[in-house]
């Protein structure tokens, strides 16, 4: 008998991304010549900002070496993040920032910094699915507090959060504007979470990847806008250029905290993986240093897309979707038995005029996947014409699927 060592328990239980696990099926679909409208993933169809394109050309023309940078990140990139925060009204120092390879690596390092094995962290459900993955890598335990769909996925009462805090709880993880729901938590709601974290001696990990991308003039504040100096010691922000500058494939993010002990540990973890990619750290600097007009333009585009896409979906499918207030996501409840099966079927069995649509099944955004069995997450990241076609395909597919 061939004996092969077992992979770790954490590897055995590592979750698949609901957004990405169907990619191998999608590749086969494309090989059959079928076009896929991707509303499964937050990978917008916009070009990178003109400034980025210009600075990349300049880099390519003038730089002949692609060396490591400091593990903290390039000084210029750190200064650019500092400037962005200053522009939104928050003063941070260079030593409060370490550059990460996107928000993903930022969260892994942050989780490693605050969690020991079997320590717990709280997320709001439906949650950004990769928090489960990052928690798993460091053997932490994710505990979820349900958000109420009828309440637009807004913040539950303090008691509902407190009831999930145990002696093992080390952190609350907040993402605002929210992925996957598109909800924008109000400053009052965020303040409640800050007070609660501080009162219970927890870290507050704030994922601000979508900060600034808010519709209908709603107010949205960073945790660093709202916390006082003492409260700031409990706060760690994870940020990224992926969505703000429309360059998901750049992998430039930031870990930000006023807590020196935290930043010292973050820096030591960062030393292990040596460096964030050099080219992107260079080319984001100018754009990031003056990005508010761009984010403002971008948000208007997403608001237009939201307006038409959500309205079309509601009309064609005769259903009600909680209005997304920011980012570019919505959780949509479909009249199908099981969105996991449905999402696969869209790729393997459905097509209309050689076209289909790809969605993220809802189960992966819940601790108990059954709770998301009728939901999908959609990302309205395509142009209006493509989104209209995606909505049409989705509505048609639901009907065909239910005929089976």
User: Of 67, 219, 228, 354, which one interacts with a second copy (CB under 8 A)?
Assistant: 67
Q: Which of 28, 30, 32, 60 binds a second copy (CB under 8 A)?
A: 60
Residue 204 beta carbon to a second copy: minimum distance, rounded to whole angstroms: 10
Q: By CB under 8 A, tell whether 20 contacts a second copy.
A: yes
- Segment 280-319, which members bind a second copy (CB under 8 A)? 280
Smallest distance, a second copy to C-beta of residue 195, A: 14
Phi, psi of 298 (to 5 degrees): -60, -45
* 168 touches a second copy by CB under 8 A: no
Bridge-based pairing state of the strands 97-100 and 253-256: antiparallel
Binding a second copy by CB under 8 A: which of 29, 40, 51, 70?
70
Comparing CB distances to a second copy, the nearer of 209 and 374 is: 209
C-alpha count within 13 angstroms, C-beta hemisphere, residue 82: 16
CB of 68 to a second copy, least distance (A): 5
Given the complex with a second copy, which of 69 and 178 has the nearer CB atom? 69
Give me the least distance between CB of 253 and a second copy, in Å please. 11
CB of 249 within 8 A of CB of 241?
no
Contacting a second copy within 218-277 (CB under 8 A): 230, 233-234, 246-251, 259, 261-262, 265, 268-269, 271-277
One character per residue 171-190, x = contact with a second copy (rule: CB under 8 A): x-------------------
Residues 6+ apart with CB under 8 A from 317: 334, 335, 394, 395, 398
Q: How far is the CB of 299 from a second copy (least distance, A)?
A: 19
> Does position 123 bind a second copy by CB under 8 A?
no
Which one of 31, 65, 219, 404 is in contact with a second copy (CB under 8 A)? 65
């Amino acid at each position: 008998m061939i004996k092969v060592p077992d992979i770790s328990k954490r590897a055995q239980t590592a979750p698949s991304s609901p957004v990405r696990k169907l990619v191998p099926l999608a590749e086969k679909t494309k090989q059959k010549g079928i076009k896929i409208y991707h509303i499964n993933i937050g990978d917008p169809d916009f070009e990178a900002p003109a400034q980025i394109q210009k600075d990349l050309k300049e880099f390519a023309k003038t730089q002949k070496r692609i060396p490591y940078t400091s593990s903290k990140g390039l000084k210029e990139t750190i200064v650019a993040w500092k400037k962005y925060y200053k522009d939104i009204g928050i003063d941070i120092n260079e030593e409060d920032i370490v550059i990460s390879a996107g928000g993903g690596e930022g969260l892994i390092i942050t989780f490693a910094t605050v969690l020991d094995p079997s320590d717990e962290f709280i997320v709001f459900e439906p949650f950004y699915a990769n928090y489960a993955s990052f928690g798993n890598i460091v053997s932490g335990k994710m505990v979820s507090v349900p958000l109420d769909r009828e309440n637009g996925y807004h913040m539950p009462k303090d008691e509902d959060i407190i009831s999930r805090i145990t002696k093992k709880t080390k952190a609350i993880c907040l993402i605002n504007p929210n992925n996957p729901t598109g909800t924008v938590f109000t400053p009052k709601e965020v303040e409640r979470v800050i007070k609660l974290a501080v009162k219970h001696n927890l870290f507050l990990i704030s994922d601000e990847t979508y900060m600034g991308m808010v519709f209908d003039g709603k107010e949205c504040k960073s945790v660093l806008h709202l916390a006082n100096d003492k409260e700031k010691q409990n706060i760690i922000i994870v940020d990224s250029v992926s969505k703000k500058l429309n360059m998901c494939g750049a992998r430039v993010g930031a870990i930000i905290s006023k807590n020196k002990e935290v930043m010292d540990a973050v820096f030591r973890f960062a030393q292990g993986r040596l460096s964030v990619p050099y080219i992107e750290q260079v080319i984001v600097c100018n754009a990031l240093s003056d990005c508010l007009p761009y984010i403002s333009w971008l948000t208007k585009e997403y608001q237009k897309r939201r307006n038409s896409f959500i309205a079309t979906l509601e009309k064609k499918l005769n259903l009600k979707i909680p209005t997304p207030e920011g980012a570019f996501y919505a959780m949509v409840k479909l009249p199908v038995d099981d969105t996991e099966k449905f999402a696969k079927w869209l790729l393997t069995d459905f097509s209309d005029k050689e076209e289909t649509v790809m969605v993220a099944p809802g189960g992966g955004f819940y601790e108990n996947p059954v709770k998301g069995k009728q939901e999908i997450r959609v990302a309205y990241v395509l142009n209006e014409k493509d989104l209209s076609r995606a909505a049409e395909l989705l509505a048609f597919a639901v009907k065909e699927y239910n005929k089976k």
